[in-house]
Amino acid sequence: MILLTGGSGLVGSHLIYDLTASGERVRALKRKSSRLDIVKKIFRWYNPTGYEEQFEKIEWVDGDISDIISLREALKGVKKVFHCAAVVSFIPSERPWMLKINIEGTANLVNACLLEGVEKFCHCSSISAVGRPDTGTWVDESLIWKTSRKNSYYSISKFGAEREVWRGSEEGLNVVIVNPSVIIGPGDPYRSSARLFTTVKNGLRFYSTGATGFVDARDVSKAMKELMEKDIVNERYIVNSENMSYKALFEMIARHARVKPPFFKAGPLLSEAAWRLEKVRSIVTGSNPLITRETARSANSNFQFSNEKIVQDLNLSFRTIEEAAHNTAGFFEMFAEEGKVR
């Protein structure tokens, strides 16, 4: 039996699909308030004729990674754990909640796995937890994390979560960590990186000057699944397909969504002004800011991420981001036509 957390998220939903497609018994932890309709739509997108039968194979259980008792119950009879649950937020007011879920929640799950004798644990971290180089733009797994004011609170939360996983490995838990770059794939159009498509399709006018890594959600799932099947423990891997500018990505998304691409350049100066104005607007209206200091500065940073280690160890081949964009646009278009995704 396999336990998976974060099954309703972008990575988790793809991973559940792949695991059930290969005949694995999967128990998925969810909160009582979690919506599963997007997960079922993803199953339908990849398996139009047999998705209902495949979806019914999932054993959904209510629980919370903040509650170690519910975690121990969910872990009964489980040999492998995929930890995909996390909060992704760049809104200042949500920082305490994000730090609690991402760090303390991971600590709770690691502790429960140790108590219940889990054989192997795969943690889905983030490229943001790898850190930033002092010089240059190239990043690989050898980079050592350094405390910096430039680190976002999300990065800090994911680095803190990794520390809990490594602590678990010191206490006898076999672990493997993946650090995906920005993930492109079908999902909730208003959550996580899937919002990129919604934003561009709704008429995004500005593009930033930054560049980063991107990867297909299907390849993240494939990498995690293969790492758990092989005799690889206590390693971490960057999972990245291509490094490209945000401008190139937005133009690609716009082409597949059949809309005009962003045409105004938002460099560092304009971005700094924009997040400050947005902060004022959010205070006046009482709504969450659409741009924050962290997102503005991240969007104008330039980094390149190496996938050499995982390609060498798994002989893994990656889909292009063009393929990822085409797949995601097709998903949104199909369900938009049916009035299912708006």
Digit-by-digit pLDDT tens for the chain (342 residues) are 999 999 889 999 999 999 999 999 999 998 877 788 889 999 999 999 999 999 999 999 988 888 888 899 999 999 999 999 998 877 788 889 999 999 999 999 999 999 999 999 999 999 999 988 888 888 899 988 888 777 888 889 999 999 999 999 999 999 999 999 999 999 887 777 777 777 787 777 777 778 899 999 999 999 999 999 999 999 999 999 999 998 898 899 889 888 888 777 666 665 665 556 555 555 656 656 556 656 666 766 788 999 999 999 999 999 999 999 999 999 988 777 666 544
CA-to-CA distance for 102 and 64, rounded, in angstroms?
12
Q: Can you give the pLDDT at residue 342? A: 44
- Ranges of H-type helices in 9-66: 10-21, 37-46, 51-55
Q: Can you give the pLDDT at residue 276? A: 62
CA-to-CA distance for 314 and 20, rounded, in angstroms?
21
CA-to-CA distance for 107 and 130, rounded, in angstroms?
19
Q: Can you give the pLDDT at residue 328? A: 93
CA-to-CA distance for 324 and 317, rounded, in angstroms?
14
CATH number listed for the domain at residues 2-186+214-242+305-321: 3.40.50.720
Q: Can you give the pLDDT at residue 258? A: 86
Query: 327: which 2 tokens?
Result: 């797949």
